[in-house]
Amino acid sequence: MNFTLKIWRQKNKNDKGRFASYEIRDVSPDASFLEMLDILNEGLAKKGEEPVAFDHDCREGICGSCGIVIDGRAHGPGRGIATCELRMRSFRDGATIVAEPWRAKPFPVIKDLVVDRTSFDRIMYAGGYISTKTGGVPDGNAIPIPKPVAEEAMDAAACIGCGACVAACPNSSAMLFVGAKVSQLALLPQGQVERKERALRMVEQMDAEGFGNCSNTFACEAECPKEISVAHIARLNREFIRAKVT
């Protein structure tokens, strides 16, 4: 397959950035989007040009490192996939594909398609943890948890923190990410100790980082590679209100 790529190139944080066009030929329809970028970069390196920088690690949709807005969609067309799981057969042969980094104030571009997502880490430091006695492995059945609750918590825990929710949101809101993290721990007995402070502190940090307000467009849920439900945003709101009034 052949494609014309319009890729955002930006030297560093302070560079203004611009789109550059590249032609790429004979790409396998089974290649992932990242593999296609590898092929492009090999060609660029051979020509002595600077390769396109992009984040990646596991390349099997579980690490949350990759993330590119492709043709106006976070992680490209398709549902429930990360950029590494996007195959080139999803595009028309000869198509022009536009690739841009996540766009949000709290995610400044470091280089080309790579953004700084440490704002998510700082939200996690604020409350995304539990206090527990470390040491020996606890008995798996020591704390009984009903199956539906465990399932709901697991669905929230599926969040890989890629930031697609922020990238897709017209307001650059991080409510789905924070909602998933708060939900996961609020549902389980282990998360009860810091339950109140967690909701308050994580929301406070989210606001301090400059993320926008959720306007319930639910673009986040549609673009989340782990298909995390906006019901977790409702739970975050509930947890926040609960923490404020009790």
Partner 1 sequence: MKSLFAFFSSSIGKKIVMSLTGLFLCTFLAEHVAGNFLLFMNDNGAMYDAYTEFMSHNIVIRTIEIVLAVSLVGHSISGVIVWLKNRRSRSENYKVYKLQENTPLASRITMITGSFIFLFLVVHLRTFFVPTRFGTEAVSPYTLVVQSFSNEWYSAFYIVALIFLSYHLRHGFQSAFQTLGLKNKKYSRLLDWLAVIFWLLIPLGFASMPIYFAFFYKAGPAALVLGVQ
- Interface with partner 1 by CB under 8 A: which range of 44-52, 116-124, 130-138, 199-207? 199-207
| Cβ proximity to partner 1, 197 vs 207, nearer residue | 207
**C-beta separation of 18 from 9 below 8 A:** yes
In the set 12, 58, 72, 80, which binds partner 1 (CB under 8 A)?
Answer: 72
Least CB distance to partner 1 at residue 93 (A):
19
> Binding of partner 1 at residue 159 (CB under 8 A)?
no
* Residue 231 CB, nearest approach to partner 1 (Å): 5
> Does residue number 212 form part of the binding site for partner 1 (CB under 8 A)?
yes
Q: Site for partner 1 (CB under 8 A): how many residues?
A: 48
CB-nearer residue toward partner 1: 122 or 218: 218
Comparing CB distances to partner 1, the nearer of 88 and 230 is 230
**Binding to partner 1 by residue 241, rule CB under 8 A?**
yes
Among 223, 225, 226, 228, binds partner 1 (CB under 8 A): 223
Give the residue from 51, 177, 50 showing the smallest Cα distance to 104. 177
Which two tokens mark 20?
């550059």
Per CB under 8 A, 35 contacts partner 1? no
**28: Cβ contacts below 8 Å, ≥ 6 apart:** 1, 88
Q: Is 80 a binder of partner 1 (CB under 8 A)?
A: no
| Residue from 94, 140, 146, 170 in contact with partner 1 (CB under 8 A) | 170
Whole-angstrom Cα Rg for the chain: 20
Q: With respect to partner 1, which residue has the nearer C-beta, 13 or 42?
A: 13
SS (H, E, C) the chain: CCEEEEEEECCCCCCCCEEEEEEECCCCCCCEHHHHHHHHHHHHHHCCCCCCCCCCCCCCCCCCCCCCEECCEECCCCCCCCHHHCEHHHCCCCCEEEEECCCECCECEEECCEECCHHHHHHHHHHCCCCCCCCCCCCCCCCCCCHHHHHHHHHHHCCCCCCHHHHHCCCCCCHHHHHHHHHHHHHCHHHCCCHHHHHHHHHHHHHHCCCCCCCCCCHHHHHCCCCCCCHHHHHHHHHHHHHHHC
Q: Which is nearer to partner 1, 95 or 140 (CB)?
A: 95
108 lies in the site for partner 1, by CB under 8 A: yes
* Under 8 Å between Cβ of 115 and 101: yes
Residue 122 engages partner 1 in binding (rule: CB under 8 A): no
Query: Is there binding between residue 82 and partner 1 (CB under 8 A)?
Result: no
Please report whether residue 203 would count as binding partner 1 according to CB under 8 A: yes
Q: List contacts with partner 1 (CB under 8 A).
A: 6, 19, 69, 71-73, 98, 100, 103-109, 168, 170-173, 203-204, 206-207, 210-219, 222-223, 230-231, 233-241, 244
